[in-house]
A = this chain, B = another copy of it.
Amino acid sequence: MPFIGVLGGMGPVATVDFMAKLVALTPASRDQDHLPVVVINLPRIPDRSAAILGSGQDPLPGLKEGIALLNRADVGLIAIPCGTSHHWHSELSAASRAPILHIARAAVSRAPRGERTLILATRGALASGFFQRELTARETPFDIPSPDDEQVAVDDCIRLIKSGQPEAAGACLDRVFGNAHARGVRTVILGCTELPLAAVHAEWQAPHLIDCTLELARSAVEYALQRGWNCV
């Protein structure tokens, strides 16, 4: 029976959160009901957002190395719990025998069609535009944070999660969420896998708060269960 492959470490806490969600979404009452998973944590892959913005090393060789390692372990599906890495989704898919889920497709599929949606993600992911393209294809209008104010808070939030300060990270989101609430936003996509770890500490919760890590995990579990990968 094939494994679910996870290319992780970007960041490591987000990978743990993805694994916890994968396990929680699997219907199981004993170990043997769970899905076989291989996780490769490659935390040294260069910063994805900086690379997209033209100010950092290219992470594509490292990402491809991870995809090759997972294919060598005979995985039947790959999930990458790092939003920004999906800038290279086509290149990675072309280099992989196993299909690679797309985090933005998983997340956007949960957005109420036609309802204005706020996308929170790294500057790199927003510059790449894959969340915006998925929402446009779903005929759903979107907002992104103001670059000089709200996005600074999102950047700080992500950095604080990566350095182990989830409460402070939650406080960063409060400002962005407060503005969104005041504008009448009801749907927010947490489009970076660090953000759900901060959002649990934020005061306001949007009526439709879409957690990209949870939706990626849900897609992976559904794919595996449909194919009976949980059967002994």
Contact = CB atoms under 8 A, between A and B. Distances in A.
Contact of A44 (B32, B42, B47): B32
Given A13-B23, A19-B19, A34 B29 contact: no
Interface stretch (A4-12, A108-116, A183-191): A4-12
Contacts of A19: 15-16, 19, 39
B40 A44 contact: no
B39 A44 contact: no
Contact of A43 (B24, B33, B42, B72): B33
Interface in A121-141: none
A31 interface: yes
A13 B16 CA distance: 11
A31 B16 contact: no
Interface string A37-50: 11111111111000
A69 interface: yes
A44 B9 contact: no
Number of identical monomers bound together in the oligomeric complex: 2
A185 B108 CA distance: 54
Given A16-B23, A73-B73, A44 B163 contact: no
A38 B41 contact: yes
A216 to B, nearest CB: 16
Given A9-B37, A36-B42, A44-B232, 19 more contacts: A9-B31, A9-B34, A12-B31, A13-B23, A16-B20, A19-B39, A28-B163, A29-B163, A30-B162, A30-B163, A32-B44, A35-B41, A37-B39, A37-B40, A38-B38, A38-B40, A38-B41, A39-B39, A72-B72
20 contacts: A9-B31, A9-B36, A10-B31, A11-B30, A12-B34, A12-B37, A16-B20, A24-B164, A28-B163, A29-B163, A31-B43, A31-B45, A31-B47, A32-B44, A35-B43, A36-B42, A38-B40, A38-B69, A39-B41, A69-B73
